[in-house]
Amino acid sequence: MSVRATLYSDNRGAQRMQLDRASTLRDGEDTPFDVQIEDISLTGFRMQLPFEILPDQATTIGVPGVGIRAVRIVRVEGTIAGCAFVQPLNRAELDTILRFDSSVVQENFKYQVAPANIAEKDGSELSAETAGLSPPQKLAIVAGAALTIWLLILAAMFLI
């Protein structure tokens, strides 16, 4: 039996700045997840996630004021993850992030599982459960559309 060990450099000499800002993390399949960046430095940041993540994953994050950056998950403790920027920020980018006035202000950022609401044109809302169609309903719509097209083609042939 072999044991695999991974060593990480704990080179955390860059000064950390408190941030507490919502952001979007995207996995390798570009699926977005809401996260909270707790602190940031030139070389990385610490974030809170709504789920547990594995170290060494390559992801991207939308950094407020700077844009999308490639990151690597360095360490994980439950739902708190330490990340390193693949390419460290420069001082001007860090200053922009710290000055950036996010239009998304979240008080007491907490993760809550809730059904999505879909707004109708008249302003009313449908829950995600009532907005979606079941597979048999989708099949009936596709079959009905195909039948309608064939009937139109046949009617056009008899009229010509």
DSSP strand pairing (58-63 vs 17-26): antiparallel
Tell me how far apart the alpha carbons of residues 11 and 116 are, in angstroms, rounded to a whole number. 41
Of 89, 51, 84, 47, nearest in space to 67 by CA: 89
Check residues 142 and 101 and name the one with the higher pLDDT: 142
Q: What is the DSSP string of 38-49?
A: EEE-SSEEEEE-
Mean pLDDT computed over 79-93: 91
Q: If you ran DSSP here, which 8-state letter would residue 90 be given?
A: P
pLDDT value of position 15:
81
CA angle 134, 130, 25 (to 5 degrees): 90
Tell me how far apart the alpha carbons of residues 102 and 52 are, in angstroms, rounded to a whole number. 26
Fold observed for domain 16-99: Thrombin, subunit H (2.40.10)
Tell me how far apart the alpha carbons of residues 43 and 46 are, in angstroms, rounded to a whole number. 11
Of 69, 81, 101, nearest in space to 35 by CA: 81
pLDDT value of position 129:
52
pLDDT value of position 88:
92
pLDDT value of position 52:
83
* Domain ranges for the chain: 16-99
Average pLDDT of the chain to the nearest whole number: 78
> Could you tell me the pTM of the whole model?
0.55
pLDDT at 102 over 60: no
Check residues 153 and 97 and name the one with the higher pLDDT: 153
